[in-house]
Amino acid sequence: MIDPIPDLPPGVLGFRAVGVVEASDYRSVLDPAIDAAVAKGQKLNIVFVLGEDFSRYSLSALWQDVLLEGKPEGSWGRVALVTNRKVLGEMVHGLGFLMPAEFRLFALADLQTAIDWAAGEKVADAEA
């Protein structure tokens, strides 16, 4: 499941993955929030948390994730992935150059730093 993270700075969308993430989670939570921001002409600055309660992505959810790259050119701003899962973090970080956004990896302890960075603030290098 994907839960929105409330009370973030203006222009920042936040989501927390819990348990198994399915394609339906993208369609019901992530996609509508992203589409609303794009419709308003906002840059997509996203904080995505894969915490200790995250289990895995289904194959259909992984496909939904790939489809996100199809958002209009210039829509993407910053994407902060917040996780302590080293292997997953390293895989995503290694593929970050393929993303249409500025991408950065943060440890769970650095969640507030990740939020600040996604909001456009300059922060010290705090990669996981």
Q: Which residues pair with 16 in a beta bridge?
A: 3, 49
d(CA 48, CA 59): 18
Measure the CA–CA gap between 57 and 85, rounded to whole angstroms. 13
Predicted local confidence at residue 67, as pLDDT: 59
H/E run at residue 76 = strand 76-83
Predicted confidence at residue 128, as pLDDT, reads: 47
pLDDT at 5: 97
Rounded Cα gap, residues 31 and 38, in angstroms: 10
If one counts every other C-beta atom within 10 angstroms of the C-beta of residue 54, the result is 19
What are the residue ranges in the chain where pLDDT is below 70? 61, 63-73, 87-100, 124-128
Q: Cβ–Cβ contacts within 10 Å for residue 79, how many?
A: 23
Q: Which spans in the chain are helix H?
A: 23-25, 31-39, 59-67, 86-95, 111-118
